[in-house]
């Protein structure tokens, strides 16, 4: 019975995906942006029946599978030539964003745990980081919902704003990809913005974002250590985390990153050009389905619970790092 609900939900995603591709072609909008818009409009107007939700909720699986497959088309020489510079930027942005967001949250009177959730969501990988760090520092449900809503609000805005700004400034594929991969929040919106700009920009955006995501375990562990050793438990107690520190690192690590790395090596060694082209086409279909689901998740009712002060903390951090990183990329690339 559940299997039927899952299959029906996936079928609905596929139908909406194909329809949005046709519709986007007709009105001259990128098909990925079109898929998100179609999903968001449906979610906020007629809604989707509860029956198909298990299938619709599989959209992150299609996103991750699509990301793994685009690994095959990434040229290793390009990664190695820009790698050290991008890696240095990723590390600087993660540390810098954590410090600035924590500082701003403290300055504006946000409770420590909520501030930490906002800082982790801003610096690492959006809602996944919020949930992961929340588990480590024992944040309560309302803090998680509050921080997630704030991050989702910015995800919803940056999906459309980043490509628009990129086109306005005439950014190169490399600059746009690395910029969005470094400074946008959740993986889905980064991938959508990147690939809606160009295939090359999408590859750089994904590569940069996944490098950021790989630090989720370390950031969570850092918060567990900080909360268990230095911070007082004024807002709801702390925990030293589930299991040992190594277990924690492995539990939080985004496993599909392993598949992405394996696919890069396969694409640069054994896979033929025709096979890589087929995998690229497959990832396009997977993204189309995934982004309809991403749009269906963009429900206004979920965004309304974001408060003004958390929004201000994230907004100031985003503006600061977005402009700093863009200036740096334009000056050096």
Binding site for another protein (CB under 8 A): 3, 60-61, 64-65, 67-69, 72, 254-259, 262-263, 266, 271, 274-275, 278-282, 284-285
d(CA 57, CA 263): 25
CB of 271 to another protein, least distance (A): 7
Please say which residue, 257 or 291, places its beta carbon nearer to another protein: 257
Please say which residue, 234 or 273, places its beta carbon nearer to another protein: 273
Q: Are 66 and 290 in contact (CB under 8 A)?
A: yes
Please say which residue, 235 or 280, places its beta carbon nearer to another protein: 280
Residue 189: both structure tokens together: 């919106």
- Backbone φ, ψ for residue 74 (5° rounding): -80, 125
Please say which residue, 172 or 284, places its beta carbon nearer to another protein: 284
CB of 68 to another protein, least distance (A): 4
d(CA 280, CA 181): 20
CB of 272 to another protein, least distance (A): 8
Please say which residue, 122 or 128, places its beta carbon nearer to another protein: 128
CB of 96 to another protein, least distance (A): 28
Please say which residue, 102 or 203, places its beta carbon nearer to another protein: 203
CB of 263 to another protein, least distance (A): 7
- Which residue shows structure tokens 């985390």? 241
- Which residue shows structure tokens 């911070």? 231
Between the alpha carbon of residue 305 and those of residues 62, 108, 146, 248, the distances in Å are: 28, 18, 6, 30
CB of 286 to another protein, least distance (A): 8
Q: CA torsion sign, 189 to 191 to 196 to 200?
A: positive
Q: Rounding to the nearest 10 degrees, give the CA dihedral for residues 225, 228, 229, 233.
A: 140
- Rg of the chain over Cα atoms, rounded to whole angstroms, equals 19
């Amino acid at each position: 019975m559940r299997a039927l609900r899952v299959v029906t939900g996936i079928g609905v995603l596929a139908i909406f995906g194909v329809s949005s591709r046709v519709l986007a072609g007709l009105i001259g909008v990128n098909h990925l942006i079109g898929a998100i818009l179609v999903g968001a409009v449906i979610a906020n107007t007629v809604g989707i029946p509860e029956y198909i939700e298990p299938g619709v909720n599989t959209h992150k699986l299609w996103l991750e599978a699509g990301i793994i497959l685009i690994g095959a088309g990434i040229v290793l020489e390009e990664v190695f030539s820009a790698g050290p510079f991008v890696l240095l930027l990723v590390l600087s942005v993660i540390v810098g964003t954590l410090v600035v967001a924590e500082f701003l949250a403290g300055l504006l009177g946000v409770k420590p745990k909520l501030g930490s959730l906002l800082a982790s969501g801003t610096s690492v990988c959006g809602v996944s980081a919020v949930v992961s760090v929340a588990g480590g520092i024992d944040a309560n449900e309302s803090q998680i919902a509050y921080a997630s809503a704030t991050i989702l609000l910015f995800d919803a805005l940056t999906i459309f704003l980043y490509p628009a700004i990129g086109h306005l400034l005439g950014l190169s594929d490399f600059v746009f990809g690395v910029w969005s991969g470094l400074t946008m929040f959740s993986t889905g919106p980064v991938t959508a913005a990147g690939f809606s700009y160009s295939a090359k920009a999408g590859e750089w955006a994904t590569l940069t974002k996944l490098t950021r995501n790989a630090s989720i375990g370390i950031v969570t562990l850092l918060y567990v250590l900080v909360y268990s050793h230095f911070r007082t438990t004024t807002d709801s107690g702390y925990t030293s985390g589930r299991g040992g520190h190594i277990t924690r690192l492995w539990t939080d690590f985004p496993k599909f990153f392993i598949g992405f790395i394996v696919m890069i090596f396969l694409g640069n060694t054994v896979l033929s050009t025709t096979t890589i082209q087929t995998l690229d086409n497959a990832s396009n279909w997977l993204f189309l389905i995934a982004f309809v689901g991403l749009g269906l998740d963009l429900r206004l009712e979920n965004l309304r619970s974001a408060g003004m002060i958390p929004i201000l903390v994230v907004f100031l951090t985003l503006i600061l790092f977005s402009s700093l990183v863009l200036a740096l990329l334009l000056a050096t690339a």
